[in-house]
Amino acid sequence: LDKSNSTSKNKFPDYFKFGAATASYQVEGAWNEDGKGENIWDHITHTNPTYVENEDNGDVACDSYHKYKEDVAMLKDLGVDYYRFSLSWSRILPYGVAGSPVNKLGIEYYRNLTQELLDNGIEPMVTLFHWDTPEPLQELGGWPNPEMEEHYAYYARTVFEQLGDLVKIWLTFNEPKQTCLEGYGKGVKAPAFTTTGMADYKCTHTLIKSHAKAYHIYDEEFKSKQGGRVGMVIDTVWFEPASGSEKDAEAAERAIQFTYGWYGNPIILENYPQVMIDRIDERSKQQGFAQSRLPKFSEEEVNYIKGTYDFVALNMYTANYAEWKEETDISDVGYDSDLNVHLFMDDSWEESASSWLRVVPWGLRKTVNWLSKTYNNPEIFITENGVSDRGGIDDPQRINFYREYLSNLVDAIVEDGVNVTRYTAWSLMDNFEWGSGYSEKFGLYSVDFSSPERTRTKKASADYYSQVISTRCLVDSCE
Ligand code: GBH
C-alpha cells in the first residue's frame, strides 16, 4: 500500500475506506416470511419474552427485509465505501443442517440487497454468522456439539456459491466470544446456557474449526474464480493495567489473551494462547478433572487452522482497567476464575446508554497497536465501533465519540504505522440491541419503532460522519 500521501495529521490515507454495519436479526424482521426458518433469537424471544428488556423482539425490527432500498439510499447519502451486513442462516437454510434444501427466496433477498449496493457504488462486506443460530441446530446441541462444523461448512459453501460472484469480503463469524461465553457460559445471549468453563470452551473449539473449514473451502473452491478474501471478526475491550506494576501489566496481557487471543492466536499464530492452556490445564487438574476443560487441537488441526485469515478484524468499543489478583477459590469452575483478573471501569470515563460501554478513545489506538505488535503487522479492519444513547436525532455525544476515536485511529495509522485500512461505524441505524431490546440506540439514523413504517431519520452524527468520509479528514482543513 502506498502511504506516501498519508503524512498529514488528521487525514486518513487515500486508500482508507469507511463503512457502516448492521446484522440480520437486529434489523431484518420478517422473521417467518418467505420460508425463513426459526433461529435461537426467534425462539428465546417467543418462548421467554422477559429475557429481553420491555419484552422486545426482532420480529419486525427495522423491517429491512422490506425496506432494504431505503437502507441503501441512506448508505449512499452517507457516502460510505462499503456496507457490512450479515446473512440469516435460517433464511437461507430453514432447517440449518448439512444437506438441507436452500430457500430460493432467502437467496433472492440477499442478491437483491447486494445488487442494490453495487448499483449504488457501495461494496458489500458480508458476515456469515452474527449470532442467529438456526433453532434446529441448537436442538442438536448448538456450538458445543462438534457436528456443527459440518453444518457450518455446508452453509458457508452454499453462500459462497450463491453470492460469491457479488461479494468479495467475507467475515465467517462476528464476535465468537459472545456466541460462546455469553451464549453458553454466562447466559446473557441466546441460547442462554450457563455452563461457563466448559460449554464456552467447547463452543469455541468447534467454532474455530468451523471457521478454518470455511476458509479452506473458499480458498480451494472459490478464491481463484471469485477473488475474494475471508477473515473472522473478533472483539475485545482495551485492557489498561491498573497501575505501573509488573503484576498489573501481566494481568492486562492475560486478559487480552483470554479475549482476542482466544480466537486470534489459533488463526493468526498457532493454537490457543499459552497462558490459557497453562492456567486451564492446571486449574482443571486441581479441580479433579481427568483432562483439561480447555479442549486440545491435534497437531494436524493446529496446522489446518493457522493462517486461515486474509486480514485481521476488530470490533472495539471501550476499555477496562485490569488489576492482578491473588488466586482464590480453586473450586470455582468458570471462565472468569480461569482468567482471574480484576476488571473495572473508571468512574471518570464518560458513560453511554450501555452499562458496559464508556467512552475511552485512546483505547482504540492502544488496541490496534497491540494487534499490530502481537500479530506481526497484519492488515487490520475495524469492523465495529460506536456508542449508544437513549435516542434523538441531535446527538452531540455520538459526534464527539466518533471524532475522538477516529482521531486516535488516524494517529495509530500516521504516527504509529499500524496498518488499519478500514473503519466501520456501528450502526447504520438504531436496531434490536439483543438483551436490551430497543432501549439502547447505536444508529447514525434513528428508526421510529412505534410506526409501522419504521421511518428512518438522519441524526446529526450522520452528517458528521459523512463529512469525515468525503474529506478523509477530522478537522475542517488538513494540510
Ligand atoms: C457488538 O457487541 C455486536 O457485534 C453488535 O451486534 C451489537 O449491537 C453492538 O456491539 C453494540 O452492543 O454482559 O449483558 O453487559 C459489542 C461487544 C457487547 C460484548 C456487550 C460484551 C456485554 C453484555 N460487547 N457485552 S452484558
Q: What is the pLDDT of residues 204-226, one digit of tens each?
A: 999 999 999 999 999 999 999 99
pLDDT in tens, 243-255: 999 999 999 999 9
384 included as an active-site residue: yes
Rounded Cα distance between 313 and 385, Å, is 12
Specify the pLDDT at position 267.
98
Specify the pLDDT at position 477.
60
132 lines ligand 1 (CB under 6 A): no
- The pLDDT of residue 331 is above 70: yes
Using CB atoms within 10 Å of the CB of residue 318, give its burial: 0 to 12 exposed, 13 to 18 middle, 19+ buried. Answer: buried
Specify the pLDDT at position 347.
97
Specify the pLDDT at position 4.
42
Between 296 and 4, residue with greater pLDDT: 296
Specify the pLDDT at position 1.
40
Give the mean pLDDT of 222-238: 98
Give the mean pLDDT of 178-205: 98
Beta strands in 385-469 (DSSP E): 420-426, 445-447, 456-458
Rounded Cα distance between 293 and 407, Å, is 42
- Distances in Å between the Cα of 124 and the Cα atoms of 47, 310, 397, 408, 433 are 34, 17, 29, 26, 22
- The pLDDT of residue 22 is above 90: yes
Ligand 1 site-directed mutation target among 22, 88, 129, 178, most atoms within 8 Å of CB? 178
Q: How far away, in angstroms, is 175 Cα from ligand 1 center?
A: 9
Specify the pLDDT at position 460.
98
343 lines ligand 1 (CB under 6 A): no
Please give the model's pTM, rounded to 2 decimal places: 0.97
What residues contact residue 450 under an 8 Å CB cut-off, 6+ apart? Answer: none
Average pLDDT of every residue of the chain: 97
Amino acid present at 139 = E
Q: Tell me which residue of 54, 61, 53 sits closest to 33, measured CA to CA.
A: 61
Specify the pLDDT at position 329.
85
Going by pLDDT thresholds of 50, 70 and 90, the confidence category of residue 479 is low
Going by pLDDT thresholds of 50, 70 and 90, the confidence category of residue 77 is very high
Specify the pLDDT at position 368.
99
Rounded Cα distance between 158 and 36, Å, is 16
Numbers of helices and strands, H then E, in the chain: 18, 15
Give the mean pLDDT of 53-61: 98
Going by pLDDT thresholds of 50, 70 and 90, the confidence category of residue 476 is low
178 lines ligand 1 (CB under 6 A): yes
Give the mean pLDDT of 332-347: 98
**Which atom from ligand 1 is nearest to the alpha carbon of 235?**
17
Going by pLDDT thresholds of 50, 70 and 90, the confidence category of residue 3 is very low
pLDDT in tens, 142-183: 999 999 999 999 999 999 999 999 999 999 999 999 999 999
Going by pLDDT thresholds of 50, 70 and 90, the confidence category of residue 374 is very high
pLDDT in tens, 414-442: 999 999 999 999 999 999 999 999 999 99
| Catalytic-role residue among 38, 240, 323, 384 | 384
CB atoms within 10 A of CB 30: 18
- The pLDDT of residue 7 is above 80: no
Give the mean pLDDT of 85-96: 99
Q: How far away, in angstroms, is 182 Cα from ligand 1 center?
A: 10
| Catalytic-role residue among 175, 240, 433, 440 | 175
Going by pLDDT thresholds of 50, 70 and 90, the confidence category of residue 8 is low
Q: How far away, in angstroms, is 435 Cα from ligand 1 center?
A: 9
- The pLDDT of residue 6 is above 50: no
60 lines ligand 1 (CB under 6 A): no
Give the mean pLDDT of 363-377: 98
Prior bond of 88 cis (ω within 30°): no
Q: How far away, in angstroms, is 227 Cα from ligand 1 center?
A: 32
Outline where 235-354 has alpha helix (H).
246-256, 262-268, 274-286, 299-305, 335-339
Specify the pLDDT at position 9.
73
Q: How far away, in angstroms, is 290 Cα from ligand 1 center?
A: 35
- The pLDDT of residue 188 is above 80: yes
Residue nearest to atom 6 of ligand 1 (CA): 23
- The pLDDT of residue 310 is above 70: yes
Specify the pLDDT at position 328.
80
Q: Tell me which residue of 439, 478, 465 sits closest to 80, measured CA to CA.
A: 465
- The pLDDT of residue 2 is above 80: no
Q: Tell me which residue of 21, 23, 155 sits closest to 97, measured CA to CA.
A: 155
